[in-house]
Amino acid sequence: MNRYLTLAIFLIVVVGSGIFIGVSNPTGAWYAALNKPPFNPPNWIFAPVWTVLYVFIAIAGWRTWMRERTSTAMKVWFAQMALNFSWSPLFFGAHKMTLALIVITAMAIAIAAFIALTRRDDKISAWLFAPYLAWVSFATLLNASFVVLN
């Protein structure tokens, strides 16, 4: 398959799935009523940040796929995607903040593992995951704060 068609598929699937999950799991009245930490960002910031991150995630996944489809790094990439796509339904949909905290912690570990696995052979993919790790680390702190405050 053409490498640019493969990139387009990665972008469409990752960004499209991320948008679908976000739209399918709105914050709603439940979230509005929660006690929030003082460092909670405004709601409008999440969509643009996640859109950029999903583009980075897709490119890193594509680069890894093109190098070695069956590599440990690719398996970890798929694992972090599964964790990523399960967080919003757990937190916003099912209101399971503690379970969501477990999932996002595992996601941060998977993201760090992907960085460790790709940093030597594909520095670009590793660097594409750096802002993702930073954001998910912050989101983990937010999630933990919601558990404590509510």
Joined together, the tokens standing for residue 24 give: 């399918």
In this predicted structure, the answer to whether residue 1 has a pLDDT above a threshold of 70 is no
pTM for the full model?
0.96
CA distance 11 to 101: 27
CA 148 from chain centre, in angstroms, equals: 22
- Read off the pLDDT of residues 34-93 as tens digits, 9 standing for 90 and up: 999 999 999 999 999 999 999 999 999 999 999 999 999 999 999 999 999 999 999 999
CA distance 112 to 80: 10
Residue labelled with tokens 């996002």: 104
Residue 122, C-beta contacts closer than 8 angstroms, at least 6 positions apart: 63, 64, 67
Q: Judge whether 84 and 13 are in contact, CB under 8 Å.
A: no
